[in-house]
């Protein structure tokens, strides 16, 4: 389980991080991280830090843990219908996949962001892009959903014997010959 180690890391950032190093920018950067963790630790523990106080996030890379946990908790809403009612589940999953493209598209369109993450942009624009496009879970659902669909399909065909076409069989035989030589 990742959560206990994650919670210890948040505690470390909030309390001891400032005292374990030194350097010209150490106090400036670690003080901000430590302060952010002291003020926003509860959002991290609840795995919602990618939606609340994102501009003052505790442990910068933790937004991904929050998004992943949220998607993990939502996965049964897709997988159970696929398992229990395959036809309706496939329709539901296709509908959710199509709809999952709308939030990032709308955010990018209405806020007039570039379609891709550009490091050459101004720093304030990068921070804004991260907060509204890159970090929120609802903008990441489509990729996660494709992974769920693939895992479901692979599970369904795991015990089936798959018949290969004559062309595929010939290609496999030729591959084996080349590898043997």
pTM (2 d.p.): 0.79
Name the more confident of 144 and 172: 144
Q: Which residues contact 10 (CB under 8 A, 6 or more apart)?
A: 37, 41, 44, 45, 58, 59, 62
Question: What tens digit of pLDDT does each residue of 10-52 get?
Answer: 999 999 988 888 888 888 888 888 999 999 999 999 999 999 9
Each domain of the chain, given as residue ranges in start order, spans 1-60, 63-181
| pLDDT bucket at 60, cuts 50 / 70 / 90 | confident
Question: Region 157-165: what's the mean pLDDT?
Answer: 75
Residue 40: strand, helix, or coil: helix
- Is residue 5 predicted with pLDDT exceeding 70? yes
pLDDT at residue 100 greater than cutoff 80? yes
- Residues 6+ positions from 134 with CB-CB distance below 8 Å: 117
């Amino acid at each position: 389980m990742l959560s206990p180690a994650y919670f210890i890391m948040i505690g470390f950032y909030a309390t001891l991080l400032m005292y374990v190093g030194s350097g010209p920018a150490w106090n400036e950067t670690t003080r901000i991280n430590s302060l952010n963790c002291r003020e926003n630790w509860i959002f991290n523990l609840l795995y919602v830090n990618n939606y609340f106080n994102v501009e003052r996030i505790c442990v910068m890379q933790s937004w991904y843990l929050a998004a992943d946990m949220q998607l993990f908790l939502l996965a049964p809403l897709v997988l159970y219908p696929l398992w229990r009612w395959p036809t309706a589940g496939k329709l539901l999953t296709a509908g959710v996949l199509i709809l999952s493209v709308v939030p990032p598209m709308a955010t990018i369109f209405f806020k007039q962001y570039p379609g891709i993450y550009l490091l050459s942009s101004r720093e304030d624009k990068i921070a804004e892009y991260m907060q509204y496009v890159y970090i929120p879970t609802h903008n990441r659902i489509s990729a996660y959903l494709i992974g769920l669909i693939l895992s479901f399909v692979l599970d369904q065909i795991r015990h089936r014997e798959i018949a290969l076409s004559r062309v595929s069989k010939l290609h496999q035989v030729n591959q084996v010959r080349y590898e043997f030589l």
